[in-house]
A and B are shown apart, each in its own frame.
Chain A
């Protein structure tokens, strides 16, 4: 009983804060008539870049995660840990790291110039997609890797003893897992790219790279047109809602079967060694080179760090710890009453990808 009360209270608070504010914003809005042609092209660009970034990030994460799941090599764990880095990096630091490799004064441009070719220019749509894949590919890879690790090892052993072909592996074991995991991963990346505007603008090359988020920013900050800001926010909210609904409707197969142990001992590793090695090398280079560039620049100035940085770090730590505790407490209270709701229709209790 108690857990229902607590869980319910948290749920109501969350709904009030999210949907309640959305409702207020909706009432403030002046409808779609408030949007001009520039706003609509911002909506189009936002949708386009978020979809493409999400498709590329998830599609490329599949071979990378599979390679990491079935190969073991020294440094594997370190690489997996490193996959968390771009996500927590301040956006501007990540962008500068990327530019150190792919920019006009970057390593690739320098190599091209040395070889007598023109400099590489990523500014514009390619830059936006490149940056979004840089920030999100590692995230999706980690999500998929967890899902791969959750497949009971017995299944792989049975498949092996039956002499399953790679296609059979995919169809019977990995396919259902991907169908359960990918919609959620796609949605996550889509939403992150939908609301990004510093990246989109920095490497987007100009007003062509305008996202809805920037248009909201302008309406609120520069024009103080709250009605228009609300209309734009509502468009963004509707897109998020529609995509969430789509991802929610994708039928999820039951992937959690019984397994005796969780250690994934893949017997099919060696036969994919070259292909997997290639994917791992490409992905790590894409990830490690920009991070390395940032590190190399940073290390030189490590000793010059002013004392204020330490105080600032402490503030960041304190805020992070308190937020984590709050978030965990609320999430646990929310999850708590769920098993108690045995009488819910089966469809509601289906596991979700997120």
Chain B
């Protein structure tokens, strides 16, 4: 008797669960941390979709793509959120993503058109420093100074890869020389962003590779105006973060609804002060006070996804041999 009711109970619970569709979104870890956009995004979307939004963290952007490639068509994911344009060429090539596009009033410099992915935020890489420093104005002036910098390893960190492509985009064939000149300015190269930024805050270096929006974090979250970023004459490399729908999804309509929600005002207004990036579509209320201005279009550097994929290995070897000397 007891056993029967137990089974009946189990059956009823699973039936009740089955009525609520589950949308599985793979994303990077910091997106779903308590300080990231995750919690607010989840409650806002669940309030309108009548579904269970499950966001699963899988390392960072590059680890996310590796996981998808491992899982292939067996993946549970319906949507992947958190790749950037340095990864989208490889991601599209897997054939795992469904072709799609969403029209919105994108604020991404240079506009947006892609056959598989939709942007949700973007930012510029930049060297962050204390306001009392006389900042360098270019990679060349940085290399000529005795200022010390901490950077991230392009092999293990997204900002690190961004810097690699930044130098490549700005200097092309001369990138190797720039790295050789920079090598005596580099205190160390860390595995991830947190170690580098922590070392900078501890005073180990004068500048750290981060984003133009990082000083805004100190202003808005900590009421500390002592940090700013160095504006470089070469322009600043951009990172555009995107999401895509898996071709194997069993929640097609729900996935579309989520991506539509992603470019809506509600989602986009969560981004600036949780992910500390520029929203892909500027919210009606504008950007929060303390947020930096977007740079002019000619100051924005970026490789197309295909170029980024084609340049990466050679740029990495150049970097390695210049710094291992």
Interface residues of A (CB under 8 A from B): 38, 41, 92, 95-96, 99-100, 103-105, 123, 127, 197-198, 201-209, 214, 217-218, 220-224, 306, 308, 311-312
Contact = CB atoms under 8 A, between A and B. Distances in A.
Q: Which 10 pairs across A and B sit closest by C-beta, in order of nearness?
A: A105-B203, A218-B155, A308-B34, A206-B189, A201-B191, A206-B323, A207-B323, A202-B190, A198-B191, A207-B324
Nearest to A121: B187
A222 B202 contact: no
Secondary structure type dominating chain B contacts: mixed
Interface stretch (B60-68, B111-119, B270-278): B60-68
Interface string B37-74: 00000000000000000000001001101100100000
A222 B186 contact: no
14 contacts: A99-B202, A104-B203, A198-B190, A198-B192, A201-B188, A202-B188, A204-B188, A205-B186, A206-B324, A207-B320, A209-B189, A214-B155, A214-B191, A308-B35
Secondary structure type dominating chain A contacts: helix
Task: Please indicate which of the listed interface residues A96, A197, A311 has the most CB atoms of chain B within 10 Å of its own CB.
Answer: A96
A214 B34 CA distance: 28
Contacts of A312: 34
A16 B155 CA distance: 32
B204 A104 contact: yes
B186 A96 contact: no
B194 interface: yes
A198 B195 contact: yes
Interface of B: 34-35, 59, 62-63, 65-66, 69, 90, 148, 153-156, 161, 183, 186-192, 194-195, 198-199, 202-205, 313, 319-320, 323-324
Given A92-B195, A92-B198, A95-B195, A205 B188 contact: yes
Contacts of A198: 190-192, 195
A92 B205 CA distance: 16
Contacts of A203: 188
Nearest to B201: A96
B190 A201 contact: yes
B183 A206 contact: yes
Contacts of A100: 202
Contact of A96 (B62, B154, B183, B199): B199
Contacts of A224: 65-66, 69, 90
A92 B201 CA distance: 13
B202 A205 contact: no
Contacts of A206: 183, 186, 188-189, 323-324
B28 to A, nearest CB: 12
Task: Please indicate which of the listed interface residues B62, B187, B188, B323 has the most CB atoms of chain A within 10 Å of its own CB.
Answer: B188
Task: Please indicate which of the listed interface residues B148, B161, B191, B203 has the most CB atoms of chain A within 10 Å of its own CB.
Answer: B191
A100 B198 CA distance: 11
